Amino acid sequence: MNMFSLTLEHMYIVFIAVAIAVVLGVFLGVIAYWIRYLDSIILWITEIIQTIPSLALLALLMIVFGLGNTTIIVGLVLYALMPIARNTYIGLQDVEPHLKDAARGMGMTKLQRLVKVELPLSFPLIFSGIKIATVNSLSVAVMGVLIGAGGLGFPVYRGIQTNSLTLILSGAIPVVLMALIFDYIMSRIERRLTLRASDGRK
Amino acid sequence: MKMKKWVILLMTLVIGLSMALSGCSGGDKITIGSKDFSESMILGEIFSQLIENRTDLSVDRRLNLGGTFVCFEAIKKGEIDIYAEYTGTALTAQLDMDVISDPDEAYRVVSEEFENQFDITWLEPLGLNNTYAIAVSNEVYEEYGIETYSDLATVSENLVFGGGYEFHDRADGFDGLTELYGMKFKGDPVKMEISLKYQAIGNGDIDVTDAFATDGPIRKYNLKVLEDDKGFFPPYYASPLVRNETLENYPELKDLLNELGGVIDDPTMIELNYLVDVEGQSIDSVAKDFLKSKGLI
How high is the pLDDT of residue B196? 86
Residue at B16 is within a domain = no
Domain ranges of chain A: 3-201
Nearest chain B residue to A155 by CA distance is: B64
How high is the pLDDT of residue B14? 52
* DSSP of B247-258: HHH-THHHHHHH
B247 and chain A: CB distance < 8 Å anywhere? no
Same domain, B177 and B104: no
Write the CATH number for B76. Answer: 3.40.190.10
How high is the pLDDT of residue A195? 80
Residues in chain A: 202
Nearest chain B residue to A143 by CA distance is: B66
Residue at B138 is within a domain = yes
Residue at B15 is within a domain = no
Same domain, B70 and B201: no
**With contacts defined as CB-CB under 8 Å, which chain B residues touch A146?**
36, 64-67, 70
Mutate to test the interface with A, among B64, B81, B83, B281 (most CBs of A within 10 A): B64
How high is the pLDDT of residue B194? 77
Segments of chain A scoring below 50 in pLDDT: 202
The interface residues of chain B toward chain A in range 206-225, judged by CB-CB distance below 8 A, are: 217
Contacts by B139-147, CB closer than 8 A, 24 or more apart: B139/B204, B139/B207, B140/B207, B140/B208, B140/B224, B141/B224, B146/B226, B147/B226, B147/B227
How high is the pLDDT of residue A202? 45
Same domain, B241 and B273: yes
Burial (Cβ within 10 Å: 0-12, 13-18, ≥19) of residue A97:
exposed
- Nearest CB to B280; choose among A147, A160, A162: A162
How high is the pLDDT of residue B19? 47
- Nearest CB to B70; choose among A62, A154, A158: A62
Same domain, B141 and B117: no
User: Which positions ≥6 away from B18 have C-beta within 8 Å?
Assistant: none
How high is the pLDDT of residue B162? 94
Same domain, B59 and B185: no
Same domain, B44 and B118: yes
Same domain, B54 and B142: no
Give the domain range for residue B166: 132-225
Residue at B176 is within a domain = yes
Same domain, B277 and B239: yes
Domain count, chain B: 2
**With contacts defined as CB-CB under 8 Å, which chain A residues touch B196?**
160
B185 and chain A: CB distance < 8 Å anywhere? no
Q: Taking CB atoms and an 8 Å limit, are B64 and A62 in contact across chains?
A: no
The SS3 of residue B128 is coil
* Beta-strand pair B120-122/B58-65: unpaired
Same domain, B109 and B142: no
E-assigned strand segments in chain B: 29-35, 58-65, 82-86, 120-122, 132-136, 161-164, 190-192, 208-212, 224-225, 238-243
Q: Taking CB atoms and an 8 Å limit, are A160 and B38 in contact across chains?
A: no
Q: Taking CB atoms and an 8 Å limit, are B65 and A160 in contact across chains?
A: no
How high is the pLDDT of residue B165? 87
Q: Taking CB atoms and an 8 Å limit, are A148 and B65 in contact across chains?
A: yes
**Packing angle, helices A36-51 and A3-34, rounded to 10:** 150
Same domain, B74 and B201: no
Residue at B74 is within a domain = yes
**With contacts defined as CB-CB under 8 Å, which chain A residues touch B192?**
none
| Choices 3.30.565.10, 3.10.20.30, 3.20.20.70, 1.10.3720.10: CATH for A3-201 | 1.10.3720.10
Q: Taking CB atoms and an 8 Å limit, are A55 and B198 in contact across chains?
A: no
Same domain, B111 and B146: no
Write the CATH number for B188. Answer: 3.40.190.120
What is the residue type of B262? Answer: G
Domain end among B206, B225, B244: B225
How high is the pLDDT of residue B243? 97
- pLDDT tens, residue order, chain B (297 aa): 455 555 555 555 555 544 444 444 455 899 999 999 899 999 999 999 999 999 999 999 999 999 899 999 999 999 999 999 999 999 988 999 987 888 899 999 999 999 999 999 999 999 999 988 899 999 999 999 999 999 999 999 999 999 988 888 877 789 999 999 999 999 999 998 877 898 899 999 999 999 988 988 887 888 998 988 988 888 999 999 999 999 999 999 999 999 999 999 988 998 999 999 888 899 999 999 999 999 999
How high is the pLDDT of residue A199? 62
Domain end among B183, B206, B225: B225
Residue at B6 is within a domain = no
- Smallest CA–CA distance, residue A51 to chain B, in Å, is 18
- Smallest CA–CA distance, residue A88 to chain B, in Å, is 34
Same domain, B180 and B254: no
For the whole model, what pTM was predicted? Answer: 0.79
**With contacts defined as CB-CB under 8 Å, which chain A residues touch B73?**
59, 62-63
How high is the pLDDT of residue B12? 53
